[in-house]
Structure formats: structure tokens, C-alpha cells
Structure 1
């Protein structure tokens, strides 16, 4: 495995290298000296991260809720000079024994592997991915091939709900990057399109949360497309594209879906800069929502930073979204307006917070920080 941490890994991380090299280019557009200024963005990120570290979630440490938070801490570690954020992730991995969650096939219990793999590559520590690799090898040897119908027992052994596309595929791609073994990426890419063929509405360019939503309608008669659910998907697209080489034959198809969704999401942004928990019936759910909005901000800012989206068209939306998200942070660093755990649009308490919302916020802000420097 050691040799994979050199030559073969460089092949799979080529796309990231160009991002890192351009992350701190001189500013081409004027960013005002307020919440959008690079120093202010970073200060807000660190304030939110510090609050989360001081007020840890009660979910189990390998739970998906926590693991989404970890993705954000890893992103923050990439732009902050404070070593505490990556150190906290290493401590978490050591405490978990570098194991995935207990539900063997379930995508939610694979997401923690994204952080393990990133740490393994950064610190050149193959032991950090050894349990994950054994786990995924067993899945490859015994793959599930059943229905994606959400009403059928056992269906969650496959990626039958849209959230799964943020949770699992990026972990599989990162394991290929860490080991050079392309079987993991091949599995993830193949299964992505199985899920997409089932849940993606090609007219709306949005994903149903799961098969239960196919026949549901909002109060205004429109189809039900959950805000955070589609945030999971477009965020998952970003996290796949980060580790999918530019010359990979599957990349054009992923880029096409990413641009389709980004264009649709841009059109659904609300006047205050955020998105609502129901994308097509915002009037029925008028409350601000931080977690889905942060995932969209992350995805759109990343696309501008990596020249997949037109800067003139998308940067204003990113700036507006970040300004609104920053306003949802209390003075002590507590992120508010986070829709609680669920699977559909919902009315909720404006003061609600959750660690996965913090993770999405940190992902978004790290890309906004890079955008402010370009």
C-alpha cells in the first residue's frame, strides 16, 4: 500500500492540485470589507467551529450527523492556520479506531470514512484507512443488487435516498485516491447512476428524496423537492468531482449533472439569499434554512473556484448567500436556522442547530474564503 501513497495517488488527486495552487490568487473582483472580506469569512468560520468543539453533539461519534461536521472541519483545516481543527479530527479517528459505522451497507455509516481517507493522505498513515478498506472490500465481494423502492425492507443496503449520495460515494472515491485501487471509484460511479436514474427528475433537474416522494405534491400543487436533500446531492457531486481526474471517462457526465443542478438551484434562490426547505413551494415553508443553503453555497462557490460555473452568473448568488448565512450565526458562534433531522420539508424552530449544519457551513465558508482571494 505504501507505493499507492506516492505515484498512484498523484493521478487521482491531480484535480485537487490545481485547486490548491490557485486558492490564494490575488483578488480580481472587489470584495467589500464586511462579512465577505477574507479575514471576516475566516473569523466567522473559526467562531462557528470553536462553538461546535466547545458544545459537542450527543450523537455517536461515527454517526452521519457528526461525520458531516467532520467534513467541514477538514475543509476549515485547509484554510486556517490553527492546527486545532485537524488535530480534533485525528483524535476523533483514534477514538473510533478508524472504523466506519455499525450498519454495514448503509451509506450514512460510510461518510466518516471521507475524513479518515483525507487524514490518511495528508499524514501518510495507511493505518487510518485499513478498517475502511477491509469494510469496502467486503462490500465489493458481496454487493447488494436489490430494489431502491423505499417501501421495501432492506432497500437501504443500496443508495435509495438522495442523502446517500453525499454520504457514501465521496468516501469510496477518496479511498481510491488513497490506495490507487480503482475498484472503489468504479463501484461508486456505477451506483451513483443507478440512484440517479431512479430519483433524478430530468425535467426539474432536481432529486426526489426517495420513492415515497414520487406521487407527493406541495400545497401549491408542485412536486416535492426537499431543500437539504438536493443540497446533499449537489454537495455530493462536488465531493465526487474533487477526486475524479479530469481525463476520467465518467467525468463529463458528472459535470453535466452538476451544471444542470447548479443552474436550477441558482434560479430557486430566494430574495434574502437563502433557499427554503421546499424548493418549489417556499411560501409554505417561509423560514430561513441554514443547512441546505450552506450546501448550495458550498457547491456554487466550488464551481466558480474551479471554473465549472460562470463567475459573472454565480458569484453574486454566492456572495448573497454567504451574507445571509453569516447573519444566522449568533455572537457566540452558534449557527441557527438548521432544519432538524428529517426527510422532507418541515416547519422548525428558528433557533435550531445541528452539527451537520455546522459542517455544511464550514464547507461553504472555506470555498467562499478561496473565492474571495481569487
Structure 2
């Protein structure tokens, strides 16, 4: 790909895309070396404990809170601290391991909670924990079997790809993996005409149809490639690759897609370790943002551990992201700031400040830290 002259063509217009470039740093850059494993775990505990202590009400089972619990269960697997398992179990029991919207829902957001339910099942197997989860995914397979356009926005890749992959392996049933790929392929190559994946931009993703070439641009006339949207894509690929056998159909494509994304992110990382809310325009609402950065650290750390990218080149990327997050976004008491709240584009929930937080952002941070802890001793 020639970064000096990227050309996008829409139905009604064509425009030249800019070189993707991170802004110059205005402070000493964060270290390119990871701290010791014990230090990473200490920060994870501080952030997880702050959230739990401030939320005696564990919340609903929608996509945002479910992302938090995915991260919390990752911390449980790392630390074996029973408090994290107890808090997650109580949340799932409160919702009777059910599916928001009922088992006939096709909306990917409603399937996100299945990830935490599966985590709990793997630790304490009871068939009832997966009854609704399996029912809703089988409805996706058998009801309107040719309907593969449900994942019309990139966030869906994180919400629903992992449940299909995990059930395929758990039940040794290829029907789950096959449906996963058909839904994924539609999002990637068909949705909106060209699909939401932009191979000419190094494999970044548009959030949805509105941002495809010929659609919404930044105030500077550049592409809108939302950071967290790409973060959702990265995390979805990581979670699928963690559970699917290397020889399974389509795994090479999932691996290559994640590798391309991680590779493209490296040159647009900010000097402070973060990534901007718009990866396609460094001047579009610039500033630190935690959720996208956490997911990118998670994706990069996994890619290093899996041998998809060279550690010598990419460990400093992941380390700068983690060290920047800890230095800038983590408050002394563990409160996690600079999280862009619910939205679908860079302008959503602005301004993003030291005091901006959200459950899914905390979950993303916990996922990043647990993956990075596996890279150090």
C-alpha cells in the first residue's frame, strides 16, 4: 500500500486520503519497556477493585457491562482471586444466564454476555448456564439460514464472533464456525457495497455504511476510521483466534486480518502511547482515549505472543500504550479515565477527559493488561 497517495472512490465522489500519521509528542514519551508482571497485576487489581467497590449493583447484561465482565474474568484467570469470580457469578445469576432481547434476537450486542457465561461455565460446568446462549446462536443458524447481514456495524465482530467460535469448539460442531464466517464475510466484504474492511488502508475498518467512501468525512475532509470501532474488530479477532484450532477453516484469514490491523496501527500511535479517536485524521478531536488504545494494546500483545508480528518491533508499541494508559488514564485510586463513552464516531460523548469512564472501557483495559502480563515475568 502506498501511504503517500491512497485513493478512495465512492458512488458519487472520489477523494485522496491522507498519509496516516501520529501527531508529535508534547511530553516525554512513555517507556517502550513493559514493567514487571507483578506491577501490571497490581494496576489491574487497583482498576478492577475500584470499579467493583463503586458498583454494588452489578448492572444489566447488555453489551457494555458484558465487556467489563469479559475483562474481569480475564483478571480472574490471571490472579485466581475469588472475589472476581464471585462478583461475575452473582451478575450472571441475577440475569439467570439469559439473553437480553430473548433467545430469538439476532442483534450482536445481545450476544456479548455469552462470553462471560462461557467463562463461568468453563470453571463451574452446569448445563443450565448455556441453555439460552446455545438456543440464541442456533436460532441464528437455523432461522433464515441465508440471512447473513445481521452484523452491519464493526462493533458486532467483538460482540458475537467469540460466542460462535467458542460454541463451535465446545460442541465440536462446525455449523457454528460456518455461520460465524458467513456473517463475518458479509460485514467485511459485502456490507454497504464494498464491505466495512478497507484493505487499501492497511486493513482498517469503517464503523458502518455511513463512513464508507462517499460518506461522512472528518472536518478536515479525511476518512473517519473510528478508533474504538477498530478496537472492537481487533478484540473480536483475538478472542476467536484464542479458541479456534489453527487448522480450522478461515483461521488463516482471521490471523492475517489481525496482523494487518496491528501492523497498520504502529505508525499512527501517538507519542504519549495512545491512539487518536480518528485513525484517519490526527487533527480530528486529538487527545488521549482509553478504550481504543486498550483494545489495540490487547490486539498487539496477542499478536506478539502468537508470533504474528516480531516482538522486537511490536513489544515497544504495546509497552508505550500500557505505560501511557497507566500514567495518564489511571487515577491513584484505580478510577480509569479518558474513556470515550457510548457512541459510534469520534464526535460521540465528547469531550473525553480525565474523569470520563465507562464499563466497557474498564473491560478493555483489563483485557489489555492480562494479555500483556503474559509477555513478562
Alignment match of 1:200 (pick from 177, 197, 201): 197
Distance 2:356 2:71 in 1: 19
**What CA deviation, in whole Å up to 9, does each residue of 1:247-302 have, x standing for no partner?**
11211111111111110111211111100111111222122100000000001001
Q: 1:248 maps to what in 2?
A: 248
How far apart are residue 181 of structure 1 and its match? Answer: 2.3
Instruction: Give secondary structure in 1 for the equivalent of 2:224.
Output: coil
Instruction: Give secondary structure in 1 for the equivalent of 2:74.
Output: helix
8 A contact 2:273–2:317 mirrored in 1: yes
Q: 1:266 maps to what in 2?
A: 266
Instruction: Give secondary structure in 2 for the equivalent of 1:78.
Output: helix
How far apart are residue 207 of structure 1 and its match? Answer: 0.7
8 A contact 1:117–1:178 mirrored in 2: no
How far apart are residue 60 of structure 1 and its match? Answer: 4.7
Q: 2:376 maps to what in 1?
A: 372
- Using a 3 Å threshold, how does the CA distance of structure 1 residues 144 and 223 change in structure 2: closer, same or farther? farther
Q: Which runs of 5+ in 2 are unaligned?
A: 1-30, 190-194
8 A contact 2:34–2:376 mirrored in 1: no
Distance 2:124 2:58 in 1: 27
Distance 1:53 1:143 in 2: 41
**Aligned pairs (5 A) from 1:251-330:** 251-327=251-327, 328-330=329-331
Q: Which runs of 5+ in 1 are unaligned?
A: 1-31, 149-157
| Off by >6 Å, runs of 4+ in structure 1 | none
Distance 1:105 1:60 in 2: 22
**Aligned pairs (5 A) from 1:17-56:** 36-56=35-55
Distance 1:54 1:122 in 2: 24
Q: 1:348 maps to what in 2?
A: 351
Distance 1:310 1:255 in 2: 14
Asked if 1:85 corresponds to 2:76, the answer is no
The number of residue pairs the alignment matches comes to: 332
Structure holding more helix per residue: 1
8 A contact 1:36–1:322 mirrored in 2: no
**Aligned pairs (5 A) from 1:90-239:** 90-102=89-101, 104-143=105-144, 158-197=150-189, 198-204=195-201, 205-214=203-212, 215-239=215-239
Q: 1:67 maps to what in 2?
A: 66
Distance 1:100 1:266 in 2: 37
- Using a 3 Å threshold, how does the CA distance of structure 1 residues 92 and 244 change in structure 2: closer, same or farther? same
8 A contact 2:148–2:183 mirrored in 1: no
- Using a 3 Å threshold, how does the CA distance of structure 1 residues 194 and 219 change in structure 2: closer, same or farther? same
Distance 2:333 2:246 in 1: 42
- Using a 3 Å threshold, how does the CA distance of structure 1 residues 339 and 255 change in structure 2: closer, same or farther? same
Distance 1:54 1:144 in 2: 44
Question: What TM-score do you get using the length of structure 1 for normalisation?
Answer: 0.85
How far apart are residue 84 of structure 1 and its match? Answer: 1.1
**What CA deviation, in whole Å up to 9, does each residue of 1:342-364 have, x standing for no partner?**
00012323011000000000000
**What CA deviation, in whole Å up to 9, does each residue of 1:198-248 have, x standing for no partner?**
110110021110001112211332211000000000111101111111111
Query: In angstroms, what is the RMSD of aligned CA positions?
Result: 1.8
Question: What TM-score do you get using the length of structure 2 for normalisation?
Answer: 0.84
Distance 1:345 1:168 in 2: 23
Instruction: Give secondary structure in 2 for the equivalent of 1:79.
Output: helix
Distance 2:178 2:57 in 1: 35
Instruction: Give secondary structure in 1 for the equivalent of 2:79.
Output: coil
